[in-house]
Amino acid sequence: MANHGPPKLLFGAKQIEQRVHALGYNITHYARQHGLTDLLVLGTLKGAFIFLADLVRHIHYPHTIDFLIVDSYEGQESTGLVRWRHTPNVAILGRDVILVEDIVDSGVTLKGVCGYIKARKPKSLNVCTMLHKNKAIGPLPRWIGFGIPDNFVVGYGLDLDEQYRHLPYIGVLNDGV
């Protein structure tokens, strides 16, 4: 495994908190405006676990929560394949789904997960992602925390080989020499 120095600060805890608060406010506004009757917030594990936990506490609108598990990464490289580890336990048919993602990088995972959800005929499907890399393919998520350049980032739920998820900030990893 490559030798990494400590992650270089990209977004601090306070900045993240303010942004997540604003996202929750925007989602609440959207839900009220559309009079959603059956809102389901679906989080992708493991990466979105901290983001989702913070976000839902700023969604002041009735909703239920469930999770799905997919992975596509080995180290810092996407395998280009979306592997399902766990599909949602709840029904999707006829519900207003908000998919909560940690990061959209190539867009391959998001495309695969959205395909799965759409095939189950939700009433609506919208995406909220904490981070979005500018190289991503596919339509832009409705709610984006921060747009970022194509660097490998960790912290606030994001990992490199299961490390760094617990960091309260988001940072960029540099390969050590």
Residues that bind Mg ion (CB under 5 A): 47, 73
Q: Does the footprint of ligand IMP cover residue 47 (CB under 6 A)?
A: yes
* From the list ligand IMP, Mg ion, none, partner contacted by residue 96 (C-beta under 5 to 8 A by kind): none
CB of 160: closest distance to Mg ion in angstroms? 8
Report the nearest approach of Mg ion to the CB of residue 11 (Å): 18
Q: Among residues 43, 46, 68, which one has the least CA distance to residue 128? A: 43
Alpha-carbon distance of 154 to 47, in angstroms, equals 10
Q: Does 164 bind ligand IMP (CB under 6 A)?
A: no
| Torsional class of 158: left (φ above 0), alpha (ψ -120 to 50), beta (otherwise) | beta
- 67 near ligand IMP, judged by CB under 6 A: no
* Cβ 102 vs Cβ 44: under 8 Å: yes
Candidates 54, 96, 102, 105; catalytic one: 105
- CB nearer to ligand IMP: pick between 18 and 76: 76
Answer yes or no whether residue 167 interacts with ligand IMP by CB under 6 A: no
Cβ neighbours, 10 Å, residue 48: 25
158 binds ligand IMP (CB under 6 A): yes
Q: Of 36 and 108, which has the nearer Cβ to ligand IMP?
A: 108
CA-to-CA separations, 100 to 47, 54, 83, 124, in angstroms, rounded: 10, 11, 18, 14
Q: Which does 152 bind (CB under 5 to 8 A by kind): Mg ion, ligand IMP, none?
A: ligand IMP
CB of 158 to Mg ion, least distance (A): 7
Per the annotation, the verdict on 38 as an active-site residue is no
Which residues would be at the binding site for ligand IMP (CB under 6 A)? Answer: 47, 72-73, 78, 102-110, 152-154, 158
